Structure 1
Amino acid sequence: MLRPTQHHKAPGKDKKRSWVKDHGLLLVNAGLFVVFLGGMIFSGAANYSEEQQAHGQPATGLGDFLTSGNFWEAVFENWESEFLQMAMYVVLTVFLFQRGSSESKPVDKDAPQDEDPRDARKTAKTPWPVRRGGWVLKVYEHSLSGLLALLFLLSFTLHAFGGTAAHNEEQLSHGLPEVSTWEYVRSSQFWFESFQNWQSEFLAVAVLVGASVYLRERGSPESKPVAEPHYETGA
């Protein structure tokens, strides 16, 4: 009797496939970031060159755009709003609730996120800061919001410097005096650039929080199970 042929998979390929599956969400988002950043760079460079020519200046190349205030202002103006949104969202969901939303902790019962790590059973797999305790654990307890807040402040600062450079380029093209970074940060233009992005970020969060009460996306952890009642709160 013939035995069915057995196909043996190479261990290395299985490990590689497993690693990609385990990190797929991060890898795809990082890849999309690179693609869209590249699109922004090349389209922005073309637009920057066109604007320079419209002001009677010679055409510019990719390097000129990447070292211009326009590029740095455009990048960090957007990063600033994203990190502000995420930092605020992480902190607000500690204290605030939305009954029925998959984005909220349960309203009427304890959530595992609220458990005191000092009372947890320690094992070799427990994160080192939890095993270490003390001030290290205190910092680690709020490390996610801390990182996002730090990235927001860094982006906010670089937006200010990049925006100042871009503003001064515009000033010089019109024969007007340059301004300092402090003067630019105090200007209506700087805050208009910031607020126009901030408002859209929090609108998107509000829509997601509210819509997840009544709407579903099967298979997504951002949605409750499709058959779950509307006012069942949390994951």
Structure 2
Amino acid sequence: MTKAETAHKADAAGRAGQWVYEHSLFLVCMAIFVLCLAGMAISGLQVYNEEQLQHGAAVVPFAEYLTSGHFFEATFENWESEFLQMGAYVVLTVFLFQKGSSESKPIDKRTEQDQDPREVKVNAATPWPVRKGGFVLVLYENSLAIFFFVLFALSFWFHAVSGAVAYSEEQAAHGFPGVSAIEFLGTSQFWFESMQNWQSEFLAVAAIVGASVYLRQRGSPESKPVATPHHETGA
């Protein structure tokens, strides 16, 4: 290998390492997600097969379990609550405040996030929807909330569909008729599953909003600087 080729490989490796460093928060969170999803699938299979044996049914292999209503329902009922929490949080922080919290915009002044993009001088680096303007810009300036609420709606529906399958299987095991996805939406089981997740998500949001008034984590953008007075709001 020539010196030029060696230098090129070293440069490519350096760029790859820099990219990983610059995106490490996202990458680590996704890695944890994959590991936890795998752990959920493995433990869920054991739970499901224990229930199968209790009802005198045959156990299922791992691949079949991954397509079952039991697995999909458990997955989407949790995703549903997460996306609802994030979408609601994005929208609520536009209008609502918490004095002293790092999670709130300052109460007495406008921030960069409040700036109307139509009043900004655009250049080549400005996002395309801002340069385009019109309806495209209206969608783009609300795209983060739209993104989370679309994911919430999809997860909500998939929870209903997969939950109906799992619920019908359980009903059949006890000699009762199954239900459709629409019918499952009218059951207390569906809303129990949803509300038990929703309440925990909003409790977590309220906890960080309130705790960040008085508590600190040095180095974290979710915290105010350690020496900042409690009454100061925002970053």
TM range (shorter): over 0.9
1:46, CA displacement in angstroms?
Answer: 1.5
Q: Which residue of 1 aligns with 2:177?
A: 177
Q: Which residue of 2 aligns with 1:217?
A: 217
In 2, the alpha carbon distance for the partners of 1:129 and 1:161 equals 35
Structure 1 segment 28-177 matched on structure 2, within 5 A: 28-177=28-177
TM-score, with structure 2 as normaliser = 0.95
In 2, the alpha carbon distance for the partners of 1:138 and 1:37 equals 36
Letter of the 1:187 partner, please give it: T
Q: Which residue of 2 aligns with 1:203?
A: 203
Q: Match of 1:163, SS?
A: helix
List gaps (5 residues or longer) in structure 1.
1-7
Identity of aligned residues (%): 61
In 2, the alpha carbon distance for the partners of 1:27 and 1:147 equals 20
In 2, the alpha carbon distance for the partners of 1:160 and 1:67 equals 15
Structure 1 residue runs of 4+, over 6 Å off? none
Q: For residues 116-148 of structure 1, give each alpha carbon's deviation from its aligned partner in whole angstroms, at most 9, with x where no partner exists.
A: 000111111000000010110010000000010
In 1, the alpha carbon distance for the partners of 2:201 and 2:58 equals 37
Q: Which deviates the most, 50-59 or 205-214?
A: 50-59
Q: Which residue of 2 aligns with 1:19?
A: 19
Q: Which residue of 1 aligns with 2:4?
A: none
In 1, the alpha carbon distance for the partners of 2:182 and 2:98 equals 40
Q: Which deviates the most, 47-56 or 72-81?
A: 47-56
1:178, CA displacement in angstroms?
Answer: 1.2
In 2, the alpha carbon distance for the partners of 1:180 and 1:97 equals 42
List gaps (5 residues or longer) in structure 2.
1-6
Q: Which deviates the most, 55-64 or 207-216?
A: 55-64
In 2, the alpha carbon distance for the partners of 1:106 and 1:213 equals 13
In 2, the alpha carbon distance for the partners of 1:136 and 1:42 equals 44
In 2, the alpha carbon distance for the partners of 1:184 and 1:138 equals 36
Q: Which residue of 1 aligns with 2:3?
A: none
Letter of the 2:206 partner, please give it: A
1:66, CA displacement in angstroms?
Answer: 1.2
Q: For residues 77-123 of structure 1, give each alpha carbon's deviation from its aligned partner in whole angstroms, at most 9, with x where no partner exists.
A: 00000000000000000000001000000011111100000011111
Q: For residues 138-194 of structure 1, give each alpha carbon's deviation from its aligned partner in whole angstroms, at most 9, with x where no partner exists.
A: 100000000100000000000000110000000111111112222110111111110
In 1, the alpha carbon distance for the partners of 2:52 and 2:182 equals 26
Q: Match of 2:222, SS?
A: coil
Q: Match of 1:10, SS?
A: helix
Letter of the 1:208 partner, please give it: I
In 2, the alpha carbon distance for the partners of 1:150 and 1:231 equals 36
Letter of the 2:55 partner, please give it: H
In 1, the alpha carbon distance for the partners of 2:194 and 2:156 equals 9
Letter of the 1:151 partner, please give it: L
TM-score, with structure 1 as normaliser = 0.95
1:54, CA displacement in angstroms?
Answer: 1.1
1:64, CA displacement in angstroms?
Answer: 2.3
Q: Which deviates the most, 60-69 or 91-100?
A: 60-69
